[in-house]
Amino acid sequence: MLEKKVAIITGGTRGIGLETVKVFKENKASVILFGSREETVNKAIDMLKKEGLEVTGYYPDLNNYKEIEKVVEEIQNQYGHIDILVNNAGISSKGPIENITSEEFKKIMDLNVNAMFNVSKAVIPYMKENGSGVILNTSSMVSIYGQPSGVGYPTSKFAVNGMTKSLARELAPFNIRVNAVAPGVINTDMVKNLPKEVIEPLIKTIPLGRMGEVRDIANAFLFLASNMADYITGVVLSVDGAARS
């Protein structure tokens, strides 16, 4: 589905990002993953190589635009075009507002929103030059309904949705589509570590009767990145087993 496409995936060393790297590679894309540290990037690349999947990786500071610009230029020069960007890097938050410092709130906004802006800004000129492109952002079910604690995370994801919808309108004349995927409760390492008494009541609230798997989200990204979604832009796609209802 993605043959001859070049994709950059941020937050690509674990969880949803890593699974998206795998799914894109299985569908014949050339994939460049971004991670936060050299060791995590190298570990992910080595693991993927053992599975027969060849990728390259970088670990730029996503809040340093000049650094991002340099890396993206290097990728453009190497591959000749950049077709897909998946902005997946992000962190969550928890606790009541009284316990959240301004520094913690800024850190969440920096990675979940500002970094997305920086990488998109660096990639868009090359997509315009190429005459097409796809930008996909990781949102969350809490971007639609909020959450009872940890205000920084849903705030950042509301911003993700706003940027997604606005860039979709701005970039449509250049044949660049912009969409987001809003995962529900997904079976990641973090969730696996939760006690059974927390998980079981959570699953009961999901009409489909199970948590989502990381591949459920990666498949949504695959669909939106592919030509099958050529007339879809400005959408925040909920992938949550109807848990939102």
Q: Is the pLDDT of residue 33 over 90?
A: yes
For residue 1, list its beta bridge partners: none
Q: 143: domain range? A: 6-184+214-238
pLDDT at 152: 95
In a domain, 193, yes or no: no
We report the CATH number of the domain holding residue 95 as 3.40.50.720
Q: Is residue 41 part of a domain?
A: yes
Active site residues: 153
Residue 157 · residue 238 · CB < 8 Å: no
Residue 73, domain member (yes or no)? yes
* Tens digit of each residue's pLDDT (9 = 90 or more) over 121-159: 999 999 999 999 999 999 999 998 888 889 999 999 999
State both tokens at 26: 């299985």
- Express each pLDDT in 47-102 by its tens digit: 999 999 999 999 999 999 999 999 999 999 999 999 999 999 999 888 999 999 99
**Cβ distance 200 to 192 under 8 Å?**
no
Planar angle of CA 155, 164, 231, nearest 5 degrees: 145
Q: Is residue 100 part of a domain?
A: yes
pLDDT class for 224, splitting at 50, 70, 90? very high
Task: Tell me, yes or no, whether 154 lies in a domain.
Answer: yes
**Residue 202: inside a domain:** no
What is the average per-residue pLDDT within 29-44?
98
Q: At what angle do helices 65-79 and 115-130 cross, to 10 degrees?
A: 30
Number of domains in the chain: 1
Residue 1 lies in a domain: no
Asked if residue 111 is part of any domain, the answer here is yes
Tokens representing 219?
A: 């498949």
DSSP single-letter state for residue 113: I
pLDDT of 244 over the 90 cut: no
